[in-house]
Structure 1
Amino acid sequence: MIESDKTHLDLVRIVPSENMARFYGIALQPTLFGEVAVVRCWGRIGTRGRVMAITYPDAEQAVDALAKLENMKRRRGYVTTDE
């Protein structure tokens, strides 16, 4: 079972001068085989976007991957939807 405080994260990057409005979502989901998947979805706001999932053998590795993705996106200017 996933025992992390952060299992889902929604980020956006909106820059009107560049006509940019993007979303990026990251979620941790358990698989049927006891692994944990990091599911990412991204695209332009208002579209369905793309989805990719990578599985990890345990929750600790998946949480580390989520944190690394979050840091990378925040460096590129993404913020949470409530900021």
Structure 2
Amino acid sequence: MKPEQLESLRAVFRDTLGLETGAAVDDLAYRALPAWDSIGHMRLVAAIETAFDVMLDTDEVIDLSSFAKAAAIVGRHLGGA
């Protein structure tokens, strides 16, 4: 992903999970925060799909277990750009 796309993904994570602006999310993993529970996970998936105009398949939704995995998944949808 391009640096600006990574920053957009960071913003999606911060906004969706209720984190402060500038909060570190690169090492964040599923259930590391109370907000990233099963419902928070689905909110995060929806926010990612909206922000990047992509549609994640079921396997990707299940595999999205960290910020790093989210970046890899979104990067594939964006053509690795």
| Common fold: TM-score over 0.5 | no
Structure-1-length-normalised TM-score: 0.31
Query: Which is greater in Rg?
Result: 1
More strand by percentage: 1
Task: Pick 1 or 2: higher relative contact order, CA cutoff 8 A, min separation 6.
Answer: 2
